[in-house]
Amino acid sequence: MDKLRIGEYYKIQLAYVANQEDLQHQHIIGYFSSTSIIKYTGAPKVEIQGFDEIGANTSPGVVVGEYSNPLDYSEKDYEYRFILTIDKTTIIDDTGWRTHYSGTDVEIVEDGAATRFLEQIDQYTVKYTLDPNNIYYIRYMVRTNNDLYVNSPWYEIVE
């Protein structure tokens, strides 16, 4: 195999073989082997639209999370979650895992048909009046159809 290709699945085998000293003196089992199927994928983009990672963002009322993976069309948003906190520790609101609605997906085609990917959108409504004396943080989290968990950065929100 020359190199791994993004979006492809591979069978791997990991093995451990004990050395002779371990086998004779410590009564260790001689070998262990396991096989698995893995997928090689590209790094996705997970962010909240219109929010800046550096500095404070004004609470918009409705927060829009965006997931896309331009390198791997087969890796898709399956479930999402938003968490709103004070100082990244005290949870104010947690949507829990919700199934992504694919009706909002937008297919992006670049370079003719050479690059094709989905922009997938999830929304969260801030249900609380935020205290202007506190600093809040929000994070958008995604679980893909292949069980990859990815997060946006923490975004600071002020009222």
Q: Domains in the chain, please, with CATH?
A: 9-39 (no CATH), 45-158 (2.60.40.10)
Q: Which of 142, 94, 138, 96 has its CA nearest to residue 118?
A: 142
Q: What is the mean pLDDT of the chain?
A: 86
pTM for the structure as a whole: 0.79
Whether 121 has a pLDDT exceeding 80, the answer reads yes
pLDDT digits over 4-35, tens only?
Answer: 888 888 999 888 776 666 666 666 666 678 89
Structure tokens at 19: 């050395």
The pLDDT > 70 percentage for the chain reads 87
What gap in Å lies between CA 48 and CA 66, rounded to an integer? Answer: 6
